[in-house]
Every structure is written in structure tokens, then in C-alpha cells.
Structure 1
Amino acid sequence: MSEFRPVPDVLAYLAGSWRVERSVRDLGSAEEGRFDGVTVFSPLDEGGLLHRESGTFVWLGVPRPAERTLRFLPGPTPGTADVRFADGRPFHDLGLTTGRHVADHPCSADLYRGEFTVRDPDHWRTVWRVAGPAKNLLLTTDYARVG
């Protein structure tokens, strides 16, 4: 059995609600934070999915509400996605036909490198390594399907 589960259509796989648990580590200072919440992927009228994440982020012991919105649009090849920020700026591509995908996103002088892996029909993970002059972070997010 493969370590990763192939997903022929990433948008079909992601549709629905997911429980989210994210750890955030500052590799420079060794400080750690945590996000707990829910991500809902709902259909967009023009095709693709609207990704809405909301929950609580705890950093240095201080909890605060946190949310973000992304747009997962149909990608250039069948079964893939073109991930965009809420304002339409490009974020990264995403294809999980092998069950694993690596994507880069340059942000000013920092580089975000994300690895996406699918464990089974109801569990997937992202690991973002952020490196550069402004940030040195490791963000690990586990998703579990709700319902």
C-alpha cells in the first residue's frame, strides 16, 4: 500500500467541511503556537471552491480569533486546482493525482514551500516551511473530514 492516497480530482476531494489542527513553530525563537478550527470548501458560482477557515489561534499563550479565505479554482489540467488569495492574487497550484504535491510561493524576500499529502479519504496534511530574512517558520496542518 502506498504512503499517499492518489486523488484524481482535488476539488471533488476537498469539497465539504474539515476539522483543522495547525501547529506553528518559529524555528528561530523556538516559540510555538496553535490554531484549532474548521475549514469549509463550498462551491463557487463560476466553478471551483471557496475555502473559508475560522477558529482560534493561540500564540504566546494569548488566544485570538483567526480566519482566512482562499479560492480554489479549476487548474490548467483536469483534477488540479489554481489556489488564489481572496483578492484574486495567485498563491500556488495543487494537484494530488499521486497523493502528494509540493508548491512554492514567494512572498517578498521569503519563500513558502508547501507539501500536501493525502492519507485516506478523510485525512490530509499540509506542511509549510517559510524561510527568509523576515520569517523562519514551520506550519503543520492536519485536516479531518467532518460528517
Structure 2
Amino acid sequence: MSHPVPDTLAYLAGRWTVTRALEDLSTGATGRFLGTADIQPSDDGARALLVEDGELVWAATANRAGRTLRLLPRPDGTAEVTFADGRPFHDLDLRSGRWAVHHPCGRDRYEGVFTVVSPHEWRVRWRTVGPAKDHLQQSVYRRASGTRHAAS
């Protein structure tokens, strides 16, 4: 069951813990990412940065990992998601509580499903298929304790 969100950026704003399971379906190799995601709107509300930081364990090797994405809110409560350098990634519409998206990356294709579970949890599943990748990523974001929640 999904939880509708009238304003994507207002819902996502704040600090989240992130647990991500990763699997290379062609080799059976698995890994995990444990960390945080900080989503902070700019002072003028014109954009927000999503900054993930944590530890990635893959093939028994642990390394620091992270990423930065931009969220550009739209008046209808949706957002455009871009990479940190401004390249387009995907749209994000959580108004129904669930959103499916695809992103071509070279000859590979990323298929994503975002699901809002509650005011304090959302999930993302990415399936990547193509000549270079056959991967599955499943992430759970939980609002960090003490984080104020602007809107649900």
C-alpha cells in the first residue's frame, strides 16, 4: 500500500537513514550500502540537494560512497531530478504515493519504482538491464529520529 504525498519536495526534506541491498544478477554477487540522505531545499525553494553518504560493502570490501542529486520542484507538487552536474535523470511524482520511471544510460536501461510507505518511510527499487549491467538495487529510506517532517 502506498501513502499519497501532495508535495514531493516538502515530504522528502530532512535527514533519512538509507539501507540499500545490491545484487549483480549475472554473477550472484551482492553488496549493501548503509548511510544517510540529507535533502535540503535552498533558501529560495527553487531546488534541493539530495546528498547521500555512507559505506558500501561489495565483495567483502568496504569503501566510503555517496552521491548528490538535484531536485527541482514544480508548482504541481512534482519534481525533476537531475544529476549533480545538471544532466537530466528522471521526473518524480509522489502524489499517488507510487511512481515508476525509466532512465536510459548508454545501452543500459534503469527501471525505477518509488513507493511512499508512510510519512516516515519510502522505498526505491532500481532494475538495470543491458549489455553492461544486470543489477537490482532496493533501498529503504527512514526518517532519522529527531528530524522534523514538513508535510506528508
**TM-score, with normalisation over the residues of structure 2?**
0.92
Provide the secondary structure at the position in 2 that maps to 1:138.
strand
- Structure 1 position 44, deviation (Å): 2.1
Alignment match, 1:92: 90
* Identical aligned residues as a percent: 50
| 1:72 lines up with 2:54 in the alignment | no
Structure 2 CA distance for aligned equivalents of residues 6 and 121 of structure 1: 9
User: What one-letter code is carried by the residue in structure 2 that aligns with 1:48?
Assistant: R
Provide the secondary structure at the position in 2 that maps to 1:28.
coil
Structure 1 CA distance for aligned equivalents of residues 73 and 9 of structure 2: 8
User: What one-letter code is carried by the residue in structure 2 that aligns with 1:71?
Assistant: R
Structure 2 CA distance for aligned equivalents of residues 48 and 9 of structure 1: 13
| 1:52 lines up with 2:60 in the alignment | no
- Per mean C-alpha deviation after superposition, the further-off stretch among 46-55 and 15-24 is 46-55
Alignment match, 1:107: 105
User: What one-letter code is carried by the residue in structure 2 that aligns with 1:49?
Assistant: A
Structure 2 CA distance for aligned equivalents of residues 102 and 83 of structure 1: 13
- Structure 1 position 74, deviation (Å): 1.3
Match of 1:27 among 19, 25, 36: 25
Structure 2 CA distance for aligned equivalents of residues 64 and 93 of structure 1: 30
User: What one-letter code is carried by the residue in structure 2 that aligns with 1:72?
Assistant: L
Deviation digits for residues 47-104 of structure 1 (CA, Å, limit 9, x no counterpart): 12100000000000100000100000013x5100000000000000000111000011
Moved over 6 A (4+): none
| 1:135 lines up with 2:133 in the alignment | yes
What are the ranges of 5 or more consecutive residues in structure 1 without an aligned counterpart? none
Structure 1 CA distance for aligned equivalents of residues 106 and 56 of structure 2: 24
CA RMSD of aligned residues (A): 0.9
User: What one-letter code is carried by the residue in structure 2 that aligns with 1:57?
Assistant: L
Alignment match, 2:149: none
